[in-house]
Amino acid sequence: MDNKENKDLTAYDNRFHEDPTSFNDFQAADYIKELKNQGKNDEAIEVGRTFLEVAPELKRYINYFGYALYNRYINIEDEKIAENETLFFTILDEIANVCKQERYSPLEAAVNKAIKYVSKKNPVDYGKLSEILEYLDAPTLDDTPFINKEGREYESKKEKWYRMKVRALYEVKDYRNCIEQANIALTLPLKWHYNNLNWVKYYRGVSLIEVGRYEEAEHVFLELKNSFKIVNLSSVLYKLYVNTGRENDAYTYLINDFFLSGYDASNLDNYVAIAKMAHDKGVEKAEKIAAAMINKIKSNAYETELDLSEYDNESADSLFDMLYSEIMYHLERYIKREEGKVIYYNNSRNFGSILQENEDDNLFFMQADFIDDEEVRKFDVVEFSRIATYDRKKKQASTKAVLLKVLYEDINY
């Protein structure tokens, strides 16, 4: 196939140099389009800027002019952008000022290039990312999920905008706007992908803490706790309760997380919290074991004047086992303990309930929450602690029994 010959632009060139105000809308658009298509982006930019100055009534050329700017300064390698970021963002601003968010406009393409560039930097400049996102009008973005050639579905433009905006606002500590944008996102009939919806809820929750709306934040995290495993929400709830004076709730969550997680060096922050809990409760032996374990994992991670020399020859995991026994078999030293009777137990599904006097509902528990691998039967009297949780069926906050221990069988129920 023969290549299409380029249009002769001599007449347009002469006319432009003689009197650029003599162009009508069609002629101006045709001129800049042909310059751009022929790879003459610098000339197209010069002509477009001239038309903006001397013929503001002309409109049809605007997107062609914007694409010339995009081709010349935006759609380039990251290394080239890094050489002159100021110019890159100046041109982005110019495109945003002249081009609307519409079909055949370069605005979204330019903004997406800027988002990718900023997002790949380490660390990410979330302030700049938030500014870039403001070039787009979120409510009018397409909410249809993107499907690639292989048929795989990805987030829509609108979903992506809210996901990134909520995160950026949290990172720059603009907590009130973070909550506002998250609230808007949660009301939209979007088809959410991956963990995007959970991340929006999470950043809303931590922002609620920052502005002192603790009850709302607790509700968010309780709802997320069993469905969002990427973040240690038990640790988040522990910090929430500590900062709101709910010491028993905080320590119950902390110990329960310690019980469920097993030994893992990456849980260092939790082990430090355990050591501080033991210190606050005046349980020196537990604090010493925890301190020794922590400092085995990371030297000098826990400062103390206690003599830890008796544990010099112990490994971190063996110290964990010692600490586990010291905590789990003396729970009454740290948290509130209750007694109750198993009123129902499902042997096949390993869950049951404990009778609660003067309560409409019985207290839910799971076999996995027993400290020892005990055989549970109906009418067993058990010792337990409570943690707040979320009832998905009723869509409301609830409580459950954790850290259970069978005391005896009450056959006279």
For residue 116, pLDDT over 60 is answered with: yes
Residue range 148-181, pLDDT digits in tens: 999 999 999 999 999 999 999 999 999 999 999 9
For residue 411, pLDDT over 70 is answered with: no
Superfamily name with CATH number, domain 337-409: Nucleic acid-binding proteins (2.40.50.140)
**HSE of 216 in the Cβ direction (CA atoms, 13 Å)?**
15
CA distances from 60 to 13, 23, 100, 140 (A): 18, 12, 12, 22
Residues 6+ apart with CB under 8 A from 347: none
The encoded tokens of residue 361 equal 């509902």
Cα distance between residue 245 and residue 276, in whole Å:
16
For residue 113, pLDDT over 50 is answered with: yes
Of the pLDDT bands very low, low, confident and very high (cuts 50, 70, 90), residue 146 is: very high
Amino acid occupying residue 389: T
Total H helices, total E strands in the chain: 17, 7
CATH 2.40.50.140 boundaries in the chain: 337-409
Question: Which pLDDT score is estimated for 413?
Answer: 46
Helix, strand or coil, per DSSP, at residue 390: strand
Cα distance between residue 303 and residue 142, in whole Å:
54
Question: Which pLDDT score is estimated for 4?
Answer: 66
Of the pLDDT bands very low, low, confident and very high (cuts 50, 70, 90), residue 57 is: very high
Cα distance between residue 191 and residue 231, in whole Å:
22
In 3D space, the residue among 335, 340, 412, 406 whose CA is nearest the CA of residue 375 turns out to be 406
Of the pLDDT bands very low, low, confident and very high (cuts 50, 70, 90), residue 117 is: very high
Task: Say what percent of the chain tops pLDDT 90.
Answer: 90
